[in-house]
Structure 1
């Protein structure tokens, strides 16, 4: 799996060496406030990292560690991975950042790098992001990296907003 770099971040595969730092992030109730899976303890974080490693081996993709270049600290994760949504396997975007890194542009920077790789290198046809309706800050991040929003359509689906970016066309479809 290829590592990615942005101006301020290195994205690399997660490993069990990240367990302590990632448990601190995913164990923070504020970070996980809108998570469909809730707050993670060390056991849940270990299972998440092991699942990520399985994704890397089986699919060549998965959530990647976000390492701030200036400090070399793990500040979160971001990546795409296959997940079943409504009985259909989709490629889903997921990310989390330590709270002290919020509102500094790290999320859109990471999302842009991940989506560029997904569409330009892996030639994926679409990527889905599920977002809790109350999570207004996160609703902006998948959109920030797109300069063109071509169309929106609404459908009823669980409690989440579903944003689908369709390949190289730049089309971004909002499904709620």
Structure 2
């Protein structure tokens, strides 16, 4: 099971005991403003958690719990999930943090650690990040980690998204 440590974060597999803290983040309207799926219901949050646990148990790339090292609290999720973009299999690197942790460079820190892990340990040669085209803060995180805009498209025929990519 993948576990990473950065200066301020522990990135570890999700546990069922993360349920409440995770749901607080995934159901927050502000946090999910640019999500392609909007705020999560209780059922959707539970399904998300179970999927992450299953993928981790199967040693598949997945999203991880982002734990604040100082407080030991779950403050977000970040990691990998498979995507198919125009019939091409890709691995997306994504992140989402609770509002109280925005603007502190944590997404940039987590993304750098995950990118290094993907290229050095998983031996990947490419990662993508799908970002709502209006989400300027998330675009800045991608750009700070050397992701470059590759294409723009519409999600579900209506939400403008930008696909950023980085090569090893």
Deviation at 1:156, TM superposition (A): 4.5
Deviation at 1:2, TM superposition (A): 2.7
SS of the equivalent of 1:112 reads: helix
- CA-to-aligned-CA distance 1:22-58 (integer Å, 9 cap, x gap): 0001110000000001101221111111111232234
- CA-to-aligned-CA distance 1:96-124 (integer Å, 9 cap, x gap): 00001000111100111111101111011
- Counterparts of 1:45 and 1:154, CA distance in 2: 30
Distance 1:85 1:23, change over 3 A: same
Please give the TM-score of this superposition, normalised by the length of structure 1: 0.86
Q: Is the 8 A contact 2:129 2:165 kept in 1?
A: yes
Alignment length, in residue pairs?
Answer: 163
SS of the equivalent of 2:67 reads: strand
- Counterparts of 2:51 and 2:28, CA distance in 1: 20
Query: 5 Å matches for 1:110-129?
Result: 110-129=110-129
Please give the TM-score of this superposition, normalised by the length of structure 2: 0.90
**Who is 2:5 aligned against?**
5
Unaligned runs of 5+ in 1: 168-176
Deviation at 1:86, TM superposition (A): 2.2
Q: Is the 8 A contact 1:83 1:89 kept in 2?
A: yes
SS of the equivalent of 1:33 reads: coil
Q: Is the 8 A contact 1:63 1:78 kept in 2?
A: yes
- Counterparts of 2:4 and 2:48, CA distance in 1: 21
Unaligned runs of 5+ in 2: 155-159
Give the root-mean-square deviation of aligned CA atoms: 1.6
Q: Is the 8 A contact 1:55 1:81 kept in 2?
A: no
**Who is 1:163 aligned against?**
164
**Who is 2:144 aligned against?**
144
